[in-house]
Amino acid sequence: MKLAFVDLGCPKNTIDLEMILAGLDKQLRLVDDAREADAVLVNTCAFIESAKQESIDTILELGRIKKERPEFKILVSGCLPQRYPQQLAPVLPEVSVFFDSVDAAKTRRQLRRFLHLPASCSTLRRRVGPPHYAYLRLAEGCDNRCSYCAIPLIKGRYVSRSQSQIIREAKSLVEQGCREINLVAQDTTYYGRERRQPGALVPLLEKLSEIDGLRWIRLLYTHPAHYTAELIRCIAQLDKVVKYVDLPIQHISDRVLERMHRRTTRKQIESLIDRLRAAVPDLAIRTTVLVGFPGETEREFQKLLHFIEAVRFERLGVFTYSEEDGTRAARLRNSVPFKTKQRRYLEIMETQAGLSQERQRNLIGRSLTVLIDEVVRETQQSIGRTMWDAPEIDQAVIFDAALKPGRFYSARVIGADLFDLFARTE
């Protein structure tokens, strides 16, 4: 039997998919093209409206194969059936089965039973991406309860994994060739807090840094309300922890932050950024902001725009507010018109583009360490990243030479455009 898979959504979803697929390649053939498969597993996302629509569109597109081959099976896992366990079957009859458990191990067992495969005791993830970098989950669920976010409704309360589990998985990934580990959770800086161990992240980072063969450790999905002095010191002093923090601020207006239930203020955000930059030279801060939240005034938006201009974040993403069923924000009045949200989105993107272009030009001539991700077959160009760039979401370094994926190179920057650097090896 041949099984294809489609992975949608965030890195946390990818981890679930890799756990679901664990051991399957020993009992059936995994293929890239659904048209060549007997069945396809669609791992869906339902975080915001556009993600739900992408998931549904993907299923409907695969339904065309089922019309041509009625025996073709469409299997659906991930956030969409987890969020809407009863509503999907009547509107998506082309789907053979929905797996609605948030537990990837349970979904794996259900998938095996559906495909009439024997049980497997394999706990190794079946990697679906390049072997040299991986995502490693610290926890499930979320306790922050941001008013716009549906994740707690889907995934439940925050539950930290044990340090020993995480270290064991990290060592396994390194043994498989991983050189960069990206730590993920809904809030990585909350790790251990629900167990009354608010300092648990620091010793975990120290233990991860002791793993031979691991070169980069990246902390993603942090929350500005949960940084400690010890964590900042850890980022500054541990060589393997890259000088990069993913710090979504969402907004800077205290009134908007309060309505978002972000548990932080402008003053606290400014203080944290100042402390991070003072402690960690050459730090890259990635942030995300949310525009068009209900009741956001033009003045509040301008405050956010001016803050972005003043702080000069090295990396920035912007989202427009999406009303999500069951969230507190969905009950708020004074919704922002669609055109206004789009204008605000574009203004921030244009502002950040100008800041990025200036920063890119200032890197010309510098010597940087670059991890190669891939070689483009058609051009034989190599695509890599600096420590300031997370996989898939940040910028790239391009070489006019075929280098070895998974290797680190010392490189001299010889050119730049808005999104990429151009370099040669030294």
List the one residue out of 250, 251, 22 whose CA is nearest residue 117. Answer: 22
Q: How large is the angle between the packed helices 338-362 and 298-311, nearest 10 degrees? A: 10
The pLDDT assigned to 103 comes to 86
Domains of the chain: 2-114 (3.40.50.12160), 133-362 (3.80.30.20), 367-425 (2.40.50.140)
pLDDT tens series, the chain, 426 aa = 999 999 998 999 999 999 999 878 778 899 999 999 999 999 999 988 999 999 999 999 999 999 999 999 999 999 999 999 899 999 999 999 999 988 888 999 999 999 998 877 666 788 888 999 999 999 999 999 999 999 999 999 999 999 999 999 999 999 999 999 999 999 999 999 999 998 999 999 999 999 999 999 999 999 999 999 999 999 999 999 999 999 999 999 999 999 999 999 999 999 999 999 999 999 999 999 999 999 999 999 999 999 999 999 999 999 999 999 999 999 999 999 999 999 999 999 999 999 999 999 999 999 999 999 999 999 999 999 999 999 999 999 999 999 999 999 999 999 999 889 999 999
Query: In whole angstroms, what is the distance from residue 224 CA to residue 228 CA?
Result: 10
pTM: 0.93
User: Where do the H-state alpha helices sit in 200-337?
Assistant: 201-209, 229-237, 254-260, 266-279, 298-311
> What single letter denotes the amino acid at residue 148?
Y
Query: What residues does 77 pair with on adjacent strands?
Result: 43
Detail the DSSP E strand segments found in 306-377. 315-320, 367-375
